[in-house]
Amino acid sequence: MGSIIVLFELEPDRAIGPDGVEPVVVRVHAAGADPDVPEDPAPRTLCGKDTDPMEHAHYRPAAPGEPWYPAPLEDRRCHACEAALRLL
């Protein structure tokens, strides 16, 4: 697997709207990159969820040793994706 794409699983039925409601991140997942379009995620996360309904986080660690997920969302990281990352 070449690179990892970080994805946000959002709370259903919550989107940015005229009232200013922001989407709520339920879980942060990791997926491999699509081999044909490296900026897009593969069809499944590392824990096996469908990536289509998820939002691309456009997050990349700034330096070696930083977490694979955005630090403010540490409590929402997918532990199954994290375990799969450790095996790569």
pLDDT tens figures, 28-83:
999 999 999 999 999 999 999 999 999 999 999 999 889 999 999 999 999 999 99
Output the pTM of the full model.
0.88
Count the Cβ atoms, other than its own, within 10 Å of residue 14: 13
Fill in the amino acid letter for 14.
Answer: R
Q: In what order do the strands lie in the sheet with 41-45?
A: 41-45, 25-33, 4-10, 55-56
With 60 as the cut, is the pLDDT of residue 1 above it?
A: no
